[in-house]
Structure formats: C-alpha cells, structure tokens
Amino acid sequence: MSFDRSALIDACKHHGLVTRVVVARVRGSAPREVGAAMLVWRAGASGTIGGGALEHALMTAARDIASPGYFNITRHALGPDMGQCCGGSVDIVTESFDLAAAEALPEDVIARGPGDMPLPVARIKTTARNTGVLPEPALVSGWMVEPVTKPTRDIWIWGAGHVGRALISVLAPLPGVRLTWVDVTAGRFPDHIPDAVTTLTAARPERLVAYAPQQAEHIIVTFSHDLDLELCHRLLHHGFASAGLIGSATKWARFKSRLKGLGHSGASIDRITCPIGDPSLGKHPHVIALGVAADLLRHTSGAARMEGYA
C-alpha cells in the first residue's frame, strides 16, 4: 500500500477539508493491512480500512474535525473495543488536509508526526531519495512514513461510450495506474473526469497510437468497427504489452482475416484478445469492465492478455 497523493488532492479540490484515516500498525488479525486508508469529508468518503464498527466510528469522528493540520494516533482492540471478531488490534493515524496542505506534500515519501522529525525517519527518507527504493508504510518513532503511489502501468482506453466510461469508473481508483482516454471529440467525455485520467481528442484517433508507450496496455471499445480495425492495425506495427478488443467471435474472425490481408502474421494478430472481459458475467457495461479489471489485476506485470468477452 502507498499514499495516494493524487486522490487526496482531488478530494480536497471537490470537498474542501478532507480527513485521511490510515492503518499504521497491525497486531494479530485485522481486516486490512498497514497503509490501507480512507478519505472522509463532511458529506461522503472514499476508500476503506476494512468496514465494520471501527470504520464507522472513525468515519464519524473524522467528520467532526474542523481544520487542517490535525494529527492523532489511536489504538483499537478490535475484539473488546469494537465487538469485531478479528481479535487483533490496530494503530490508526487520523490527519486532516485542505488543498494547500495536500499540494504541499512531497511526491516520493510522505512522513509526518508530532514534533521534530526523528532521526530514523530522516534516514528512511534519505535512503529512499538516494537509492530510489521506496519504504514500506510503517509507524516509525511515532511518525507515519508512506511511499507515494506512482503509476506503474499505462492503460489506454479507446472510446468514451458506455463501456469506456464503465472501464474508467472501475480502473481509475486503482493504485499505480495511469489512464489515457481517447475519443474523437471532447463532447463524448463525461463532465467529471478523475485526476488519474488524461483525455485526448483527435478527429483521427488512430494517429495517436504513435504517442503511446510501447509497453502500454490497450482496451479498444470505440463506436466504429472501421476505427477498431485501424487501431488494431497500427498497434500491431507500433508494439504494446497487451491489447483487447470488444466484440464477438464473429467480429474477431473477420478482423483476423482483414489484418492478415494487411500483412500481419497470425502469431502477431493472436497477441490481441477479442472478445474481452468474462462472458460468464454478462454484457452490462460495468460487468464487462469488472471482467477486464479482474484480468488486469491478475496479471500485474502488464504483459498478459485480457481474456474474452463474447
């Protein structure tokens, strides 16, 4: 787990004062691991530290915090204190931010706590900056130390229709993901787009393939079969970690024939997966998106293929 600085900044932009509640230490059995966090504001919340009575109590308390700069560490025995069956205990850090405080956070390792920074914490930060190796989240000498979430996977979604929007809603909250969303006009995108998403518009979207990293993962869900085919054609020339195309087995059989006619080998074409998702789950846009996301998460290297939706 790591500190999602972008999500905190986005929450502060939309909700003002935001309180972050993070699991700092675990003893015995607990619902979530160290670094699991939720963001809480007056009228809502995002993320989870495991649900149940503890999360409800901490969320309620977080809404009473009225100003930025609050920092507190509390310990909770999950059995006696909360009536939960886990049997362990957790230390919880609760802290509040406004937009200025969130934007002032460093972009590599975030460490905060009472008083002057302890020497062990300073050493952790120095080592991380000198070596590029980020620490695991931990409570050190009364200070919470967390690495900042860094995108490790580039995912390009081609098409802003119902399935494209569902994919964005499912994938955008995931840590370590950088999303690029492409369509022909700005009007095809929704009004609110998460900070983790970069939108690109082009009358000829296929021309943007040249700007995609060669290790990007691509999900093609456009409104046009002709555009789908051209994207497949250009991606096969350009290179990719994985590529999936929405459609049926019949559509893919036709595409394979046409791609062979364009000079691509069978082995090369077979690197594209069509259909995408999990056919056993159904055809609702969010169901398709869940199937695609599950497969992406199973293959964290980003090099594996997305399995088929019919």
HEC string of 174-193 equals CCCEEEEEEECCHHHCCCCC
Q: Which residues of the chain, if any, have pLDDT below 70?
A: 80-87, 300-310
Answer positive or negative: Cα dihedral of 14, 98, 144, 79. Answer: negative
Helices (H) and strands (E) in the chain, counts: 9, 14
Q: Strand pairing partners for 18? A: 97
pLDDT of residue 149: 82
How high is the pLDDT of residue 152? 83
Q: Is 132 exposed, middle or buried (0-12, 13-18, 19+ CB in 10 A)?
A: exposed
pLDDT of residue 84: 58
For the chain, what percentages of helix, strand and coil (3-state, to nearest 5) are there? 35, 25, 40
Cα separation, 127 vs 150, in Å, equals 18
Distance, in Å, from the CA atom of 39 to the CA atom of 118, rounded to the nearest integer, reads 26
Q: Is 142 left (phi over 0), alpha (psi -120 to 50) or beta?
A: left
Side by side, the strands of the sheet bearing 143-147 are 109-112, 143-147, 138-140
Inter-residue contact 53 to 83 (CB < 8 Å): yes
H/E element holding 245?
strand 242-245
The neighbouring-strand residues paired with 89 are 27, 77
As a whole number of angstroms, the distance between CA 231 and CA 213 comes to 15
Q: Domains along the chain? A: 5-147 (no CATH), 153-305 (3.40.50.720)
CA-based end-to-end distance of the chain:
34
Which residues have C-beta within 8 Å of that of residue 274, sequence separation ≥ 6?
Answer: 244, 245, 246, 247, 251, 252, 255, 308
User: Tokens 């919340």 map to which residue?
Assistant: 45
In whole angstroms, what is the distance from residue 304 CA to residue 271 CA?
9
